[in-house]
Amino acid sequence: MIGRRSFLVTTLMALGFAFLYIPILSMIVYSFNESRLVTVWAGFSTKWYVELFQNEQIINAAKLSLRIAAINATGAVILGTLAGFALSRFRRFKGRTLMTGMTTAPLVMPEVITGLSLLLLFVAMEHALGWPAGRGVTTITIAHITFSMAYVTVVIQSRLSTLDESLEEAAMDLGARPWKVFVVITLPIIFPAILAGWLLAFTLSWDDLVITSFVSGPGSSTLPLVIFSKVRLGVSPDINALATIMVTLVAIGIFAAGFYMQRQEKRRERDVQAALAANQ
C-alpha cells in the first residue's frame, strides 16, 4: 500500500488534467459552431474549415513557418549536438563556463529580451556591414536557431551523460580515431535524442511569436504573427478550426511515437528474457 495513490491525490490529478484539456476541447468544439459568435452555440457546421483553407494569408503564413521551422530545426540540431557533445565530453576548456551560461540562458530568458537584443544586432550589422539587408526570413531563421539550439544542447547533453563512456573508449582502444568514433558509435546510439531535439526545435520555431515579431520585416509574416494580429481583436472561428487541425496532428504524432516506442520496449524485453532463459 505504500506508494499507491490516495483518493485525494487521484482527484487532484484528475482536476489538473481536466484543467489542461478543457480549453483545448472547448476550442475544438467551438470550431464546429455555425455561429460567428464563437461561444454562442448555433448548430453544427464545418464552414470555418472551408473558410480557413481559402484564407490565403493564413496558408502562406503557414508555408513560411514550415520552411523556417525546418531549416531552423536542422541548423539547431547540428549546432546543438556539437555543443552538447563538447559540454558533456570535454572536461575542461577555455571559456567553458561562458559556454554553459550561453547555452542555458535562452531556456529561461524572457523572450522580449532575446528578441530585442537580436533586432538591435541586426540593425547594427546592417548599419556597419550592409548585411543582413532588412529583416526577413534570414533574420528570423538566425534568431530561431540561436534560441532553439539551447534546447537541443540540453537534450543531447542529458542523453550523452547517460551514455556509457566506455563504449567510446572501447572503440578508440580498437583503433578508431575520435571523429570516427563519433560518427560510427555515438551518433547511431543517440539518434533518438537527436530526432527528439529536431522535433523540439521545429515546434519552438513554428510556434514562436515574440522573438519573430522583433526580427521579422514586411512580407515575412509567420503563422503566429498572423494569428496574433487576428486574436488581439477577439475570438475568431477560423482560428478555432486551425487550432483543431494542429491539435489533431500533434496528438496523432505523439501517440504514434509513443506507440512505436512501446513496441520497441516490448521487443527488447522479450529478447532479454529469451537470453536469460537460454542462459549459459
Partner 1 sequence: MNRGVRAERAPPVLLAELLSWIRAFGPYRWASNRFKDWGVGGRTAVIGLPYLWLVLFFLIPFIIVLKISVSDIRLGMPPYEPLLHWVEHQVVTLKVNFQNYAFLFEDPLYRNAYLNSILTAAISTLLCLLLGYPMAYGIARTSPSWRNLLLMLVMLPFWTSFLLRVYAWIGILKNNGLINNTLMAMGIIDEPIVMLQTDFAVYIGIVYSYLPFMVLPLYANLEKMDLTLLEAAADLGCGPVKAFLTITLPLSVPGIIAGSMLVFIPAVGEFVIPALLGGPDSLMIGRVLWEEFFHNRDWPVASAVAIAMLVLLVGPIMWLQYVQARQGGAGGAHR
Partner 2 sequence: MANPRPENKLEPWKDPAAVPYIRIEKVTKKFGDFVAVDDVSLKIYQGEIFCLLGASGCGKTTLLRMLAGFEEPTSGNIWIDGADMAGIPPYKRPVNMMFQSYALFPHMSVEQNVAFGLKQDKLPRGEITDRVNAILELVKMTQFAGRKPHQLSGGQRQRVALARSLVKQPKLLLLDEPLGALDKKLREHTQFELVNIQEKLGVTFVVVTHDQEEAMTLASRIGVMNHGEIVQVGTPGDIYEYPISRFVADFVGSVNMFEGSLIEDEPDYVRVASKELGGNFYVNHGVSAPPDATVWVALRPEKIVISRDPPEGDDHDNRVRGVVKEIAYLGDVSVYLVKLESGRMVRITRPNMRRQSAAFDRITWDEDVWLSWDGSSPVVVTQ
Q: Between residue 1 and residue 20, which ones bind partner 1 under the rule CB under 8 A?
A: 2-6, 9-10, 12-13, 15-17, 19-20
- Binding-site partner at residue 83 among partner 1, partner 2, none, CB < 5 to 8 Å by type: partner 1
Q: Shortest Cβ distance from residue 73 to partner 2 (Å)? A: 24
Per CB under 8 A, residues contacting partner 2 are 164, 166-167, 169-177, 180, 185, 188-189, 268, 271-272, 274-276, 278-280
- Binding-site partner at residue 108 among partner 2, partner 1, none, CB < 5 to 8 Å by type: partner 1
Cell 563512456 belongs to 165
SS3 127: helix
Query: Which of these segments, 49-57, 189-197, 234-242, 271-279, binds partner 1 (CB under 8 A)?
Result: 234-242
Residue 114's nearest CA partner among 202, 193, 196, 204 is 204
Residue 103 contacts partner 1 per CB under 8 A? yes
Q: How far apart are CA 48 and CA 52, in angstroms?
A: 6
Q: Is the peptide bond before 224 cis (omega within 30 degrees of 0)?
A: no
Residue 240's nearest CA partner among 58, 117, 3 is 58
- Go through the chain and tell me how many residues it has: 280
Q: Measured from the CB atom, is 98 or 278 closer to partner 2?
A: 278
Q: What is the DSSP letter of 182?
A: I
Residue 234 contacts partner 1 per CB under 8 A? yes
In the list 42, 133, 254, 272, the residue contacting partner 1 (rule: CB under 8 A) is 254
Residue 167's nearest CA partner among 147, 138, 187 is 187
Q: Measured from the CB atom, is 60 or 111 closer to partner 1?
A: 111
Q: Which amino acid is residue 184, in one-letter code?
A: V
C-alpha cell at 153: 544542447
- Binding-site partner at residue 17 among partner 2, partner 1, none, CB < 5 to 8 Å by type: partner 1
- Binding-site partner at residue 172 among partner 2, partner 1, none, CB < 5 to 8 Å by type: partner 2
Q: Shortest Cβ distance from residue 151 to partner 1 (Å)? A: 12
In the list 61, 68, 79, 241, the residue contacting partner 1 (rule: CB under 8 A) is 79
Q: Measured from the CB atom, is 171 or 211 closer to partner 2?
A: 171
- Binding-site partner at residue 174 among partner 1, partner 2, none, CB < 5 to 8 Å by type: partner 2
Q: Shortest Cβ distance from residue 120 to partner 2 (Å)? A: 43
| Element of type H or E holding 26 | helix 7-30
Query: Which of these segments, 55-63, 157-165, 167-175, 267-275, binds partner 1 (CB under 8 A)?
Result: 157-165
SS3 233: coil
Rounded to 10 deg, the angle between the 187-207 and 137-161 helix axes is 140
One-character DSSP codes across 68-123: HHHHHHHHHHHHHHHHHHHHHH----TTHHHHHHHHHHHHHS-HHHHHHHHHHHHH
